[in-house]
Each structure stands twice: as C-alpha cells, then as structure tokens.
C-alpha cells in the first residue's frame, strides 16, 4: 500500500472541529446489578426503552 504521508495523521485530516462541549449527566437514581447476563440484558433493555442509550 502506498500513500502520501503528508495526508496521513492529524496534519492530513480534512476534519474541522467547530466546538467541543462537555456534557455531564446528573444521576437521579442508582441501581446495583450483578454480573450475570440476564441482569445486564434487563438493564440494556431498560436504557433503550427510556432513550438513555440508542
């Protein structure tokens, strides 16, 4: 594979960043779950249902 090294890495990136924002989520509740697959799957389903993720 051959390429122009000037177009590689940060200096060769055409991406321009207008602004960076840090978002801090405020916890309203907490939940302790085990490490088994069923509990993790239930948590993922809950997070998807309330649009926390996805």
pLDDT of amino acid 39: 95
Flag whether 54 is in a domain: no
- Domain holding 20, by residue range, is 5-49
Number of domains in the chain: 1
Query: pLDDT tier at 12 (50, 70, 90 boundaries)?
Result: low
Query: Residues 19-54: pLDDT tens digits?
Result: 888 888 787 888 899 999 999 999 999 999 998 888
9: left (phi over 0), alpha (psi -120 to 50) or beta: left
pLDDT of amino acid 43: 93
pLDDT of amino acid 4: 82
4 by DSSP, 3-state: which?
coil
16 by DSSP, 3-state: which?
coil
Nearest to 23 by CA among 49, 3, 52: 52
DSSP state of 50: T
pLDDT of amino acid 20: 87
User: Is the pTM higher than 0.75?
Assistant: no
């Amino acid at each position: 594979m051959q390429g122009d090294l000037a177009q590689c890495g940060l200096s060769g990136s055409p991406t321009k960043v207008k602004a960076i924002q840090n978002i801090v989520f405020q916890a309203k509740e907490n939940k302790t779950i085990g490490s088994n697959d069923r509990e993790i799957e239930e948590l993922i389903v809950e997070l998807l249902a309330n649009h926390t993720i996805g």
